[in-house]
């Protein structure tokens, strides 16, 4: 976690949301927004596109991409180690 980018509680909430999105995968989160849209959860139809834009924006932030890259690298190493021990 890069604490120099977190200066307010709102920054921290955004960081936590971005980590959740990265861990779950942006596509699975967008699938959830599709489910919300089908259920007509929001009164304003534009809310769904705003939500998708926000998800895209969060995942395009450089520090989030760096974290994602590190997670991918660790996952690959763990998978290769698991194959060795089988």
pLDDT of residue 35: 92
Domain, as residue range, for 8: 3-85
- Kindly write down the DSSP assignment for every residue of 42-58, as one continuous string: SSSTHHHHHHHHHHHHH
Residues 56, 34: Cα–Cα separation, whole Å: 15
pLDDT of residue 52: 86
Is 0.85 topped by the overall pTM?
no
- Residue 80 CA: distances (Å) to CA of 17, 32, 70, 84, 85: 29, 31, 16, 6, 9
pLDDT band, residue 12 (cuts 50/70/90): confident
| Two tokens, residue 3 | 């604490």
Domain count, the chain: 1
Geometric angle at alpha carbon 56, from 72 and 75, rounded to 5° = 10
pLDDT in tens, 16-63: 888 888 788 878 888 898 899 999 999 998 998 888 888 888 777 655
């Amino acid at each position: 976690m890069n604490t120099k980018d977190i200066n307010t509680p709102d920054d921290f909430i955004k960081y936590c949301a971005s980590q959740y999105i990265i861990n779950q995968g942006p596509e699975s989160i967008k699938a959830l927004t599709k489910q919300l849209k089908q259920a007509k959860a929001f009164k304003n139809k534009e809310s769904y596109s705003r939500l998708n834009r926000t998800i895209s924006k969060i995942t395009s932030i450089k520090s989030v991409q760096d974290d994602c890259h590190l997670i991918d690298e660790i996952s690959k190493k763990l998978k290769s180690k698991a194959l060795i021990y089988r």
